[in-house]
Structure 1
C-alpha cells in the first residue's frame, strides 16, 4: 500500500484489522507487515496487552516463534502517549484491550498513521470478542484468516476450548485451544 497525500499536505491514515480464529496466522501476518514497514525505514511502534505473557514478557511472538519487539501496555490510552513520532502502529491481541481501543485507533488514523491491529474476532463460545467488532466496523481494510480444522481438515474459523471453563479470558495455546470448522465446532466431539 502507498500513502496518498491529501489536500492539506498531510498523509492519509487508515486502520487495517487482521482477524480470525486461534492458529490462523494473525500474529504471523501482523509481524510480516510490520517487518516490511521497518525495512522501508518508517518509524514503527508496536504494542500488546501486558496480560499476554504466554511466550514473552514484552515481544510479540507467533505460535511459529516468529518475533518482533513490542511494548506491553495496560490500557489503550498508553498507546496514544507512546505513538507520537510513529508512522505505523502495530497492535496484537486487540480483543484483550479496554473499550477505548477503537477510538484510540481512530484518533491515530485521523492523524495520518497507518494502524495495523490483529485479534480474535470470536471467543471460545463463538461470540464477538472484546473490542474486535468495533474495530472491524472502523477498519478501512479487513483480512480474515482461517486455520485448518484439527478434526476434519476443512477451513477453521472457530477456537474450540478443550478445557471446561466459562471464563471468556483464558490465555493458552494448543494445550487449551484447537481450531475447528463450523461443523466440528458445533458437534463438540473431543
Structure 2
C-alpha cells in the first residue's frame, strides 16, 4: 500500500483519454474509502469509475467501442477476474490492472499471482517504509481485533514497511533474542582478541 499504484493507473488512463481513446474504468464496490464512484489516489487525484459487485459485471458493461479497460484494487475480485481479463485481451482490448500482490500476512493476495503470470507487462512499485524510509514492499496491519484478510482501510489500519521492519514489535522476543545473540558474539570476539594480544605479547 501507499506505493502509488492507483496514481500510476490514473496516469495511464489520463494519457489514453488525451489521445481520445475510449476508456472504461472499474473498481470493486467494496472499495469506498474516498469515493463511491471515483478511483482516488492517496494524493487525491481521481478519475470517474464504475463500481461493480463482481468480475462478470465488468464483462457485461464493456462497450464494443472500448479500447482500454482499467481495473483498480483488482485483488478484491475472485479468480473469475482472470478469465474476464483474458477474454477482454483476446478481444484486442488493453487491460490495465492495479492491485496489491501480497496481503498483510505477506501471502499472495487473491487472483494476483495468476494475473501477474498472464500479464504482458508488469510494473512493481514500492512504497516508503514508515519506520526507516527505505523502499517498502510489505503491508503492515496495525493491531486490530478484526482478523479478516480483506479489511478495507488506510493509514488508520495499515503502514508500508520494508522487509526489516515488516514484523518488528518492541515485545518481539525473536528480535530480542537475535539482538542478545549478536551482543554475545561481539563479546566473545572481543575476548578472543584480548587473549590473542596477550599471547603475542608473551
Unaligned runs of 5+ residues in structure 2 are: 172-202
1:183 alignment partner, one of 144, 157, 164:
164
Q: 1:189 deviation in Å?
A: 4.7
Q: Which runs of 4+ in 1 moved over 3 A?
A: none
- 2:29 aligned with 1:45: no
Q: 1:98 deviation in Å?
A: 1.8
Q: Give the structure with the larger helix fraction.
A: 2
- 2:9 aligned with 1:33: no
- Higher-Rg member (1/2): 2
Kept after mapping to 1: 8 A contact 2:140/2:167: no
Aligned length: 169
RMSD of aligned alpha carbons: 1.1
1:68 alignment partner, one of 35, 38, 47:
47
Tell me what 1:155 maps to.
Answer: 135
Q: Secondary structure at the match of 2:130?
A: coil
2:147 alignment partner, one of 162, 166, 169:
166
Unaligned runs of 5+ residues in structure 1 are: 1-21
Tell me what 1:15 maps to.
Answer: none
Q: d(CA) in 2 for partners of 1:35 and 1:82?
A: 20
Q: d(CA) in 2 for partners of 1:175 and 1:189?
A: 20
